[in-house]
Structure 1
Amino acid sequence: MSLPSSFAAGSACPPAIPGARWSPADGHVRPLLLWVRTGTAHVRLDDGPTLHLGSGEGAWIPAGDRAEIPAEARAGWAITTEPGTVAFPLCPHVGVGTRELPELTRFDVPGDWQDWLIQLFNLQVTPFSGHGYSPESVAELLRRPGTHPPALPAPGRDPSPEGFASPAMPRARGARAVAEELMRDPGLDLTVERWAARVLSSARTLRRDFVAGTGLTFEQWRLHCRLGAAAEFLAAGYDVDQVAALVGFASRNGLTRAFKGRFGMTPHEFGRKVFARPGAGGMTRRAAAARQTDDLIRMMRETGTPTAPEMLPPANTPSHTNDIHVLSWMYRGSGYLDIGDRRYERERGVATWIPAELEHVTGLRENSVSLPLGNASTADLHLTAPLQVRFSPAWDDYLMFCSISARSALRPDDHDPRHILDLFTEQVAAQRALSVPMPTDPQARAVAMEFLRRIGEAGGAVDVTADGTQDAAGIRAEIHRAFRDETGMTLGRWRYAARMRVARDLLAGGAPPSTVARRTGYAHLPTFSTAFSRFHGLSPREYQEREAARSR
Structure 2
Amino acid sequence: MPSSFAASSGCPPPIPGARWSAADAPVRPLLLWVRTGTAHVRIDGGPMLHLRAGEGAWIPADGRAERAITTEPGTVAFPLCPHAGVGARGLSELTRFDVPSGWQDWLIQLFNLQVTPFSGRGYSPEAIEELLRRPGSRPPTPAVAGREASPEGFASPAMPRARGARAVAEELMRDPGLALTVERWASRVLCSARTLRRDFLADTGLTFERWRLLCRLGAAVEFLAAGYDVDQVAALVGFASRNGLTRAFKGQFGLTPHEFGRGLFAGPGAGGLTQRAAAARQTDDLIRMMRDTDTPTAPETLPAASTPSHTNDIHVLSWMYRGSGYLDIGGRRYERERGVATWIPADMEHVTGLRENSVSLPLGNASTADLHLTGPLQVRFPPTWDDYLMFCSISARSGLRPDDHDPRHILDLFADQLAAQRALSVPMPTDPRARAVAMECLRRIGEPGGTQDGDVRDTDVRDADVRAEIHRAFRDETGMTLGRWRYAARMRIARDLLAGGAPPSAVARRIGYAHLPTFSAAFSRFHGLSPREYQEREVANSR
Same fold per TM (> 0.5)?
Answer: yes
Matched, 1:367 2:360: no
- Is contact 2:31-2:58 (8 Å) kept? yes
CA distance in 2, matches of 1:122, 1:253: 34
In 2 relative to 1, CA 10–536 (structure 1 residues): closer, same or farther, beyond 3 Å? closer
User: Which letter does structure 2 place at the counterpart of 1:489?
Assistant: M
Name the counterpart of 2:164: 174
In terms of mean alpha carbon deviation, does 251-260 or 520-529 score higher? 520-529
User: Which residue is 2:206 aligned to?
Assistant: 216
Shift of 1:25: 3.5
Residue pair 1:312, 1:367 contacting (<8 A) in 2 also: yes
Q: Which residue of 1 aligns with 2:41?
A: 43
Matched, 1:16 2:14: yes
Q: Distance in 1 between matches of 2:418 and 2:201?
A: 43
- TM-aligned CA deviation for residue 501 of structure 1: 1.6
Cα shift at 1:13: 1.5
* Structure 2 equivalent of residue 484 of structure 1: 475
Query: Which of 199-208 and 482-491 deviates more?
Result: 482-491
Q: Which residue is 2:193 aligned to?
A: 203
2:32 alignment partner AA: L
1:220-260 C-alpha deviation (Å, 9 max, x unpaired): 11111111111111111211111111100000110111111
Question: Could you tell which deviates more after superposition, 109-118 or 76-85?
Answer: 76-85
Partner of 1:243: 233
8 Å CA contact 1:149–1:262 kept in 2: the answer is no
Distance in 1, matches of 2:326 and 2:7, equals: 20
8 Å CA contact 1:47–1:75 kept in 2: the answer is no
Structure 2 residue matching 1:495: 3-state secondary structure: helix
1:531 pairs with 2:522: yes
* Aligned match for 2:179, one of 175, 178, 189: 189
Residue 517 of structure 1 is matched in structure 2 by: 508
The residue that corresponds to 1:501 in the other structure is: 492
- In the aligned structure 2, how far is the partner of 1:267 from the partner of 1:112? 35
2:321–2:338 Cα contact (<8 Å) kept:
yes
Task: Report what 2:130 is aligned to.
Answer: 137
What is the CA–CA distance in structure 2 between the aligned matches of 1:370 and 1:350, rounded to whole Å? 10
SS of the equivalent of 2:113 reads: helix
Q: Which amino acid aligns with 1:520?
A: I
Aligned mates of 1:241, 1:409 — CA distance in 2? 32
Residue 266 of structure 1 is matched in structure 2 by 256
Q: Is the 8 A contact 2:123 2:156 kept in 1?
A: no
**Displacement after TM superposition at 1:118 (Å):** 0.2
C-alpha distance in 1 between matches for 2:374 and 2:139: 41
Query: After superposition, where does 1:104-503 map in structure 2 within 5 Å?
Result: 104-128=94-118, 134-138=127-131, 140=133, 146=142, 161-162=151-152, 164-275=154-265, 280-457=270-447, 463=455, 470-473=460-463, 476-503=467-494
Deviation at 1:166, TM superposition (A): 2.1
C-alpha displacement of 1:148: 6.1
Separation of aligned partners in 1, 2:189 and 2:478: 55
Q: CA deviation at 1:311?
A: 0.7
Q: Take 1:375 and 1:60, find their aligned partners in 2: how far apart are those partners?
A: 29
Contact kept? 1:12, 1:453, Cα under 8 Å: no
CA 1:276/1:379 → structure 2, altered by over 3 Å: closer, same or farther? closer
SS in 2 for 1:127: coil
- The DSSP-based 3-state class of the residue aligned with 1:493 is helix
Cα distance in structure 2, aligned partners of 1:449 and 1:122: 35
CA deviations over 1:120-140 (Å, ceiling 9, x no partner):
001111121599993233465
Change in CA separation of 1:240 and 1:266 when aligned onto 2, cut-off 3 Å: same
Q: Which amino acid aligns with 1:301?
A: R
- Decide whether the 8 Å contact of 1:165 with 1:229 is kept in 2: no
One-letter code of the match for 2:13?
P
Distance (Å, rounded) in 2 between the aligned partners of 1:58 and 1:471: 50
Q: Does 1:28 align with 2:26?
A: yes
* Paired residue secondary structure (2:328): strand
Per-residue deviation at 1:199? 0.7
Gaps of 5+ in 2: none
Q: With structure 2 as the length reference, what TM-score do the two structures score?
A: 0.89
After TM superposition, the structure 1 stretch with the greater mean CA deviation from structure 2, 429-438 or 179-188, is: 429-438
Deviations 1:374-393 (A, max 9, x none): 11122221111111100100
Task: Please tell me whether the aligned partners of residues 131 and 315 of structure 1 are also in contact (alpha carbons under 8 angstroms).
Answer: no
Which residue identity lines up with residue 226 of structure 1 in the other structure?
R
Whichever residue aligns with residue 172 of structure 2, its letter is: L
- Describe how 1:48-127 pairs up with structure 2 within 5 A: 48-65=46-63, 74-127=64-117
5+ residue gaps in structure 1?
A: 1-6, 66-73, 154-158
Q: What CA deviation, in whole Å up to 9, does each residue of 1:206-226 have, x standing for no partner? A: 111111221111111111111
Q: Which sits farther off after the overlay, 483-492 or 216-225?
A: 483-492
Q: Secondary structure at the match of 1:388?
A: strand
Q: Deviations over 1:409-445 (max 9, x none)?
A: 1111111111111211122122222333233444433
CA contact (8 A) 1:164 1:225 kept: no
Q: What letter is aligned with 1:54?
A: R
Q: 1:240–1:267: 8 Å Cα contact kept in structure 2?
A: yes
TM-score by length of 1: 0.88
8 Å CA contact retained: 1:330, 1:346: yes
**Which residue identity does 1:517 align to in structure 2?**
A
SS of alignment partner, residue 63 of structure 1: coil
Helix, strand or coil: the match of 1:275? coil
